[in-house]
Amino acid sequence: MSIFLRTSLVFAAVLASAVANSAPVTYALDPNHTFPSFDADHFGGLSVWRGKFRTTSGSVVLDKEAKTGEVTVNIDTTSVDFGHDKMNEHARSAQIFDVEHFPTATYTGTLGGFQDGKPTEVQGTLTLHGVSKPVTLKINRFLCKINPMLLKEVCGADAEATINRADFGVSYGQAYGFDMSVILRIQVEGIRQ
């Protein structure tokens, strides 16, 4: 494709995006660029184990002009990955995520705290291990732009919160002195629909 044609297509996509920004827009989460992850204590400060979930789905609905939006992230808990096969197996067991009974975790929330047209937080609810609790995510970065490969607008964010996993019934290791606080990070990219 010629540089002129590609540049024209990108310009047209930017123009269309600017015109349509006055109404709510839905972005489907890209499963190839959305990997919720977490940092969890091992033996009361001995080390930190980092894991991620390899399979997700969901959407973001964003109205930039009204400064409102909603987020839904569906997490396949069977896809947990510590980079260590034996730990992955243990994490999927009834002692931790109990994926046989709770194969999905969800986070739903409302975008808020808009500054310079960008949300700075998500106030929502995390459902994990069959327990739902309020969790507010702090958005560290948020950006929407035209992806030159897809020729579509994409939005991406990096958000985090600290939760107490025992509050969700995931208390394995507490008797051994494990710290129950977990840093939850949700990195997402959504493609405009």
Please tell me the predicted confidence (pLDDT) of residue 89.
Answer: 98
| Overall average pLDDT of the 69-85 stretch | 98
Looking at the DSSP bridge assignments, the partners of residue 136 are: 123
The string of pLDDT tens digits covering residues 105-115 is: 999 999 999 99
d(CA 191, CA 182): 29
Fold of 3-192: Lipocalin (2.40.128)
Q: What global pTM score does this model have?
A: 0.87
How is the chain split into domains, by residue range? Answer: 3-192
Higher pLDDT, 7 or 132: 132
The string of pLDDT tens digits covering residues 114-136 is: 999 999 999 999 999 999 999 99
